[in-house]
Amino acid sequence: MSSADRPATRLATRLAFLVAGFGIACWAPLVPFAKTRLGVDDGVLGLLLLSLGIGSVVAMLLTGIVSARYGSRPIILAGGFGLALVLPLLAVASSPATLALALLAFGAALGSIDVAMNIHAVEVERAAARPLMSGFHALFSIGGFAGSALMTALLSLQFGTLACTLICSALMLIAMIMTWPRLLRNAQAQDGPLFVLPHGSVLLLALLGAITFLVEGAMLDWGALLVIGAGLVTEAQGGAGYIVFSIAMTMGRLGGDAIVARIGDRATLLWGSLIAIAGFVVLLTAPVAAVAITGFLLIGFGASNLVPVLFRRAARQTVMPTGLAVAAITTAGYAGILIGPAGVGFVAHLGGLPMAFWLLAALMGLVTLTARVVTADSRQTAAS
């Protein structure tokens, strides 16, 4: 599809990733306000937050089916505009039931755009005949930084939560209006089956996606507790490691397309996973805080381009329609983020948090061991 290789379609894809990252990040600073407004305890709040995950997972599964028939464009638009329109409802929901419904809709919008934008991205990258996926995913990270920073700044200036969400929603609406005319009109629409159970290489890709997303979720939820428990930092400094990890992930993805173009998908998976494993070793054996921070840095850099490569492989496999394969990987990855950190907690309860992180390093080793299998059909010639 030659029309896919245009600056306008690349811009539209980047804006979609930016809106998705921005939207979900806007919700995080609102959680304490929602808890206070509703007067619920942590247990009820946890159940309410589960609504977001349920909405996302269901929408991800349906998006793969719908996009197989109608393409990714209408789903990107529905998801992006949905995020913008539902966000203010999260600031005014006055009962647990209404907040649960709003979070369900917000999660559905997020899950929809998450799958559809990756389907769109693989088509744009395929037409360009050069790596672009890492750069697209970097925009999601940048959107996350921007959303959380803007929402936090507005709340710090004593804006009400509704006013804050309306401002952020307006920015998302502007971005989606810019995206609308630039999206591919027939990206990945096809006449094949609407549903295929994940099988063959797609199952492996989904497993690796779940592992990689699990590592990211574990760094967010458990990284600070690991270094605090080891006596390397105080509680006030516990978040420094995740900040470094996030910066490394973003910077790695901004430069990732150039790296992949030079060394290929296989080497990216192999060396990226090895660097991440080395980061775990450094983190878990660190005698002082500075060394531990280096471990966070290495894990972020190593893991940064693994997911973009997995989505690219989904576009190149032939055992399933691309849209359904991308949906399977996205859903598995999201399950890794939702369920994985709880699994880390379970292992930590049995054998300690360091043991749980050693297990994460071992799981990352599966990426190393399967790099050749995952890219067996690839054109691995590095760009000269």
| Residue 193, pLDDT score | 52
Neighbours of 145 (CB within 10 A): 15
In this predicted structure, what is the pLDDT of residue 64?
76
Q: Which pLDDT score is estimated for 2?
A: 44
| One-letter amino acid for residue 102 of the chain | A
Alpha-helical segments (H) within the chain: 7-27, 31-38, 42-70, 73-92, 96-128, 133-156, 161-179, 201-229, 240-254, 256-285, 289-303, 306-316, 322-351, 353-374
- Spell out, as residue ranges, where the chain has pLDDT lower than 70: 1-3, 42, 186-199, 221, 236, 377-384
pLDDT at position 225 is 82
What is the per-residue pLDDT for 106?
Answer: 94
pTM, to two decimals = 0.79
Residue type, 250: T
pLDDT at 379: 43
The three-point CA angle 297-303-305 to 5° equals 120
Contacts 24+ apart (CB under 8 A), 89-93: 90/27, 90/30, 90/34, 90/165, 91/30, 91/33, 91/34, 91/160, 91/161, 91/162, 91/164, 91/165, 92/161, 92/162, 93/34, 93/37, 93/38
Query: What is the C-alpha to C-alpha distance for residues 357 and 234, in angstroms, rounded to an integer?
Result: 20
Q: Look up residue 42 and give its two tokens.
A: 């942590």
Q: Specify the pLDDT at position 139.
A: 93
pLDDT digit string, tens, across residues 25-60: 888 788 888 888 898 876 787 788 788 888 888 898
pLDDT at 318: 73
d(CA 72, CA 156): 38
Q: Which residue has tokens 């779940």?
A: 210
pLDDT in tens, 228-284: 888 898 876 777 888 888 889 899 999 999 999 999 999 999 999 999 999 999 999
